[in-house]
Amino acid sequence: MADLILQRLTKHCGNIDPYDIDDYTAAGGFKALTKALLLMKPQEIIDETKASKLVGRGGAAFPTGAKMQMVHDAPNNIKYVICNADEGEPGTFKDRYLMESDPYQIVESIIIAGYAVKAQKAYIYIRGEYDKAIALIKNAIERTRETGYLGKNILRQRFNFDIEVRTGAGAYICGEEFALIESLEGKSGRPRYKPPYPPIAGLWDCPTLINNVETLANLPYIVLNGGKEFRSVGTDSSSGTKLICLSGNIINKGVFEVPFGITLRDIIYSIGQGIPNDKELKMIQIGGASGSCIPPSMLDIKLDLADMRQHDLSPGSGAIIAFDNTRCVIDIVKSLLRFFAHESCGKCTPCREGNPQLYNIINDFSNGTATVDNYKALDSLTQTMQQAALCGLGQASPMPVVSTLRYFKEEYDMHLSGNCPAGICSLDGGQAK
């Protein structure tokens, strides 16, 4: 167990008063910022980040160093950093944990990122429901500014930088980078087409580094210890640690910092301590609401980008939801699709029209009106959405359908012949509402 849980990003969590800047400083806080500003050139920070092989922790796993380099090199005087704290993925609550337990670390990380890409201003866009995180981050920014780590000529260097908190209003789509940027600009949160990508034309069309909270939180460690040391934990394809969020039918729920490379079995049975109430595990969903749903037979797969990619999986945001054998796969997929149909921004056809239709087709299975033609419709619709939707929402929302069709096809077939094995679906021909 000891080597399954590490404390790199979470080392202060629970050990310091998240309001108190002195607590943070006494625990070694702002050392990385001081080192970065006084001893390192922006390019050196980027080089170390590249050497660390850190990739984005929001779900897309884009190499962070490469992204920083693009913003650094973009020929524009005005540049922005955005910390994406609009943590809306169902089953994901790791950024909240970081912000509530160690907000100064996030502030320090954002300043380091700003220095590295030569930005002047950062926004941290926090999910509107995160009252406590918003208050703590705002407090942390104030205290940090008073201390002189934010504002003009930070540490007497020719580096001016400030951070502003913005909050979302509850739309899941605003976690998508361009929808978030549109929202920041005061428009409704709808993604833009790509390219151009944010490092070239982001906030107000200026080069913008936009990263997830957890991604940025790795920067102080990289600055203090170097990219090589960062890789001392993890695997060849996936360096460092990952915060995972365990929820669902599992005994030990919560946020855990784990090294890349441990197996899903370790996560479910060692860290999560297994399934409560003497039930059996039926399915886990990895990466959030749009993640793959897989059976227990696949638990030897490692939390590792390369290993998971071989099985068409991705760690996504780090959410892992367990479902026991009293649950119905069709019912679970149906409720996920209701979520996506509700959260689609409505901009592009495949997502706007596709998600409600996906829901309709799955609903047919649950109310007993599905026919074999439904499989064909699911096939063409999921493929179209995955390949043609404008942003990640519409591209990923069919994943629960696609993966359950692959691993739980027999449950679909059983529903087709009028049998919900968990006894959850009404199968009443759509009579009951």
Q: Which amino acid is at 19?
A: Y
Considering the complex, state which of residue 249 and residue 355 has its C-beta at the smaller distance from another protein.
355
**The binder of another protein chosen from 43, 139, 188, 270 (CB under 8 A):** 188
- Which residue is listed with tokens 């689609």? 344
Instruction: Tell me how far apart the alpha carbons of residues 208 and 67 are, in angstroms, rounded to a whole number.
Output: 9
* Nearest residue to 362 via CA among 377, 349, 351: 377
Quick check: 325 binds another protein (CB under 8 A)?
no
Quote the tokens at residue 264.
């899903």
What is the closest distance, in whole angstroms, from the C-beta atom of residue 312 to another protein in the complex? 12
* Residue 96 contacts residue 78 (beta carbons within 8 Å): no
Residue 142: CB partners within 8 Å, gap ≥ 6?
A: none
Quick check: 349 binds another protein (CB under 8 A)?
yes
* Residue 58 contacts residue 212 (beta carbons within 8 Å): yes
The DSSP line for 228-286 is HHHTTSB-SSSBSEEEEEEEES-SS-EEEEEETT-BHHIIIIIIS---STTPPEEEEEE
What is the closest distance, in whole angstroms, from the C-beta atom of residue 23 to another protein in the complex? 42
Residues 364-423 that bind another protein (CB under 8 A): 373, 376-377, 380-381, 383-384, 386-390, 395
Quick check: 75 binds another protein (CB under 8 A)?
no
Dihedral angle at the C-alpha atoms of 51, 52, 53, 55, nearest 10 degrees? -140
What is the closest distance, in whole angstroms, from the C-beta atom of residue 85 to another protein in the complex? 21
Residue 74: CB partners within 8 Å, gap ≥ 6?
A: 199, 200, 207
**The binder of another protein chosen from 37, 40, 171, 281 (CB under 8 A):** 171
Considering the complex, state which of residue 255 and residue 289 has its C-beta at the smaller distance from another protein.
289
Considering the complex, state which of residue 262 and residue 341 has its C-beta at the smaller distance from another protein.
341
What is the closest distance, in whole angstroms, from the C-beta atom of residue 194 to another protein in the complex? 8
Quick check: 237 binds another protein (CB under 8 A)?
no
Considering the complex, state which of residue 94 and residue 190 has its C-beta at the smaller distance from another protein.
190
Considering the complex, state which of residue 60 and residue 155 has its C-beta at the smaller distance from another protein.
60
Quick check: 341 binds another protein (CB under 8 A)?
yes
* Per rule CB under 8 A, count of chain residues that contact another protein: 36
Give just the sign of the alpha carbon dihedral 184, 69, 234, 30.
negative
Q: b or e along 264-275 (b: 16 or more beta carbons within 10 Å of the residue's beta carbon)? A: bebbbbebbebb
Considering the complex, state which of residue 43 and residue 335 has its C-beta at the smaller distance from another protein.
335
Quick check: 138 binds another protein (CB under 8 A)?
no
Quick check: 274 binds another protein (CB under 8 A)?
no
x-marked contacts with another protein along 96-135 as a string, rule CB under 8 A: ----------------------------------------
What is the closest distance, in whole angstroms, from the C-beta atom of residue 377 to another protein in the complex? 4
* Residue 401 contacts residue 378 (beta carbons within 8 Å): yes
Which residues are near another protein by CB under 8 A?
A: 171, 173, 188, 190, 193, 195, 341-350, 352-357, 360, 373, 376-377, 380-381, 383-384, 386-390, 395
